[in-house]
Amino acid sequence: MNHLSESNNRSSGEILESKINIKFIIGKFLAFMPFFIISISLSLLVAHLVIRYTTPIFSLKTSLLIKDKSRNTFDGAESFLQGSSLLMQSKNIENEIGILKSRNLVEQTLDNINFNISYYSEGKIKKVELYKDLPFIVELDTNHFQTYQVPIYVKFLNNNTVEISSDDKKGKVLIPYNEKEVVDVSPKIQKKVFPINQYIETENLKFKITILNLELLKDYNNGLHFILNTKSSLISKYSGSFNVKTINKMSSIVELTKETSYPEKDIDFLNSLCQTYIQQGLDEKAQISKKTINFINLQLNDIQDTLRTIENNLLNFKTNNKIINLSEEGKLILSQLKEIESQKVLELSKYKYYSYLYDYINKNKNIKEVIAPSALGIGDPLLNSLIIKLSDLYAKKITYSNSMKELNPAILEIDQNISNIKLSLIENLNNIKNQSKLLITDLESQIKLIEKDLNNIPLAERQFLNINRKFNISDKLYTYLLEKRAEAGIAGASVIADNKVIDKTIVTGRTYPIPNTFYFTALMIGILLPSIIILIIDFLNSTITNHKELQEITKIPIIGNIVHNDGKNALVIANSPKSNISESFRNLR
């Protein structure tokens, strides 16, 4: 019972001591409350100023669907051009991401939107780029030297005159249409007044200013300037400024994201980038269709004049000789010759394509615009497979080239694979050409055997058969080529985009500075900073300020307190017998 009582007493004492400590600590901090108020106020003020005058950064997002069909799947009108489908419909997502991030696509996008001139309003603290709501626009004379990459300040003195000048910043003087640099000239423009709505011309500048909004002009007139951007600087600025990734591993939907201080401008850029990418795919398909039609037209032109001549000869022969009906023997010979010569005509057409493809592979570094075998009715599986592999390797090389140098081992390996596939393709084409030659020779031999039977029929009928043969051969080839040209035309006219925009670019949020986060952080800093200072001062303090501190460091009992004397007179008891110090001494005595 005694032990339990002692334990309870100690617990009660510890709790009491803990309460006293908490009160002591709180009291100590409350003594410095003015410092806390000042610290918190200054922190919140700094946060407000940062939020107010820092150019905010926003995040943008758009999504794009890239079709990822099986290589042997063709649908709709595109089945007429199966070769186009083989090369264009099946896509590797990683390759397409590489194309989306490529400098080439960024360059094409910038050609479609006017970012050549940047307009700025300069305030007392920060500079803001103006994009859509412009107080004025600048029209350049592209045949005159222009000063690039240097701020050109404009100050409107009234509605009719403007003052132009520039600073000493390093810039370039270029010829606009080819951006060729003009050397040994200074980009600096001396301050000078010019009339509005007329061409303003200096040694290294020529442009015309048109006022769009007088009210905005009054608001911004204290600090307006514009900068002419070179194409190369814009490409460098926007290449790599955005990210492209799939939404998940199983999806062919990609997301394009970008962080920017000028959301309106970069929304237009991302939207235009997606449209340029989609249009590029359509243009490639159209180019394949066009090349196929051109190839067929060349063969049609070769045969058209021949067919016309033979047709006239046949008509004249019928008119002069009155031959209308053939004998049974003549009909049989004509039927046999028509069948064999039709095979020969088709094989000759294929042989011409093999020769074309052989020359194309040897001369060209890329096969994006090659006419596929299936477009001309050639279904050789090995030939199609090799062309597909070669196309994939070229696409993969484009992807790698966007982030690697030419001497990178990965690119060198791809180049080696391309070289190997080309050798295999050329070897395959040589074999196919030889087989085609043998087949043509065999068909010609069969034709010669059948021609011997022509000697058994009358001369006039034999002459008619010969002319009719030539006409049937030319007409068969002409009809075949017309059918293929029609198929190519239908496929070209019916082409639809493989890709489409799922969501246009939107602002998904503000990434910096975020007001709530900034204010909360400022509040924490305002509280922690004086708290840390107080704790450090208290830790370094070596003086005893109260009974408790004295009791903690010694076991000697305290028998009394003497109040500190703030007066100048040391004889306190004699001069001030009723003071607190005098009373302290009496208590001690």
- pLDDT tens by residue, 65-119: 887 654 333 343 344 444 444 334 446 787 788 888 888 889 999 999 989 999 9
* DSSP annotation string for 475-540: HHHHHHHHHHHHHHHHHHHT---SEEEEEEEEEEEEEES-HHHHHHHHHHHHHHHHHHHHHHHHHH
On whether the CB atoms of residues 96 and 66 are closer than 8 A, the answer is yes
Residue 242 makes CB contacts below 8 A (sequence gap 6+) with 101, 256, 257, 258, 270, 273
**pLDDT score for 419:** 84
On whether the CB atoms of residues 434 and 302 are closer than 8 A, the answer is no
Residue of higher predicted confidence among 320 and 39: 39
On whether the CB atoms of residues 482 and 300 are closer than 8 A, the answer is yes
Q: Measure the CA–CA gap between 526 and 528, rounded to whole angstroms.
A: 6
Helix/strand/coil (H/E/C) assignment for every residue in 75-127: CHHHHHHHHHHHHHCCCCHHHHHHHHCCHHHHHHHHHHCCCCEEEEEECCCCE
- pLDDT tens by residue, 31-54: 778 888 898 899 999 988 888 888
Residue 251: phi, psi to the nearest 5? -105, 150
Sign (positive or negative) of CA dihedral 243, 248, 250, 256: negative
From 574, 551, 548, 547, select the one nearest 562 (Cα to Cα): 547
Tokens of 239: 């290449």
pLDDT higher than 50, residue 4: no
Please compute the mean of the pLDDT values over residues 59-70 and round it to a whole number: 80
pLDDT higher than 80, residue 311: no
On whether the CB atoms of residues 371 and 295 are closer than 8 A, the answer is yes
Angle between helices 263-321 and 328-363 (to 10 degrees): 150
Q: Measure the CA–CA gap between 26 and 52, rounded to whole angstroms.
A: 36
Please compute the mean of the pLDDT values over residues 290-312 and round it to a whole number: 77
Q: Measure the CA–CA gap between 546 and 561, rounded to whole angstroms.
A: 10
**225 CB burial (10 A radius; 0-12, 13-18, 19+):** buried
**pLDDT score for 118:** 92
Residue of higher predicted confidence among 393 and 503: 503
* Percentage with pLDDT > 90 across the chain: 10
**pLDDT score for 79:** 44
Please compute the mean of the pLDDT values over residues 178-207 and round it to a whole number: 80
On whether the CB atoms of residues 166 and 151 are closer than 8 A, the answer is yes
In terms of average pLDDT, the best of 127-136, 318-327, 535-544 is 127-136
Give the model's confidence band at 184: pLDDT under 50 very low, under 70 low, under 90 confident, else very high. Answer: low
On whether the CB atoms of residues 192 and 224 are closer than 8 A, the answer is no
Give the model's confidence band at 190: pLDDT under 50 very low, under 70 low, under 90 confident, else very high. Answer: confident
**425 CB burial (10 A radius; 0-12, 13-18, 19+):** buried
Partner residues linked to 155 by β-bridges: 163
Window from 88-97, 108-117, 269-278, 289-298 with minimum mean pLDDT:
88-97
**pLDDT score for 109:** 93
Window from 461-475, 479-493, 548-562 with minimum mean pLDDT:
461-475
**pLDDT score for 330:** 64
* Percentage with pLDDT > 70 across the chain: 78
Give the model's confidence band at 340: pLDDT under 50 very low, under 70 low, under 90 confident, else very high. Answer: confident
Rounded to 5°, the CA angle 310-315-316 comes to 95
Q: Which helix H or strand E contains 156, and what residues bound it?
A: strand 152-156
Tokens of 573: 């008891």
pLDDT higher than 90, residue 272: yes
Window from 108-122, 446-460, 527-541 with minimum mean pLDDT:
446-460
In terms of average pLDDT, the best of 115-119, 277-281, 399-403, 548-552 is 115-119
**80 CB burial (10 A radius; 0-12, 13-18, 19+):** buried
- pLDDT tens by residue, 9-32: 444 444 444 444 676 667 667 777
Q: Which helix H or strand E contains 242, and what residues bound it?
A: strand 242-246
Tokens of 260: 């920017």
**pLDDT score for 379:** 72
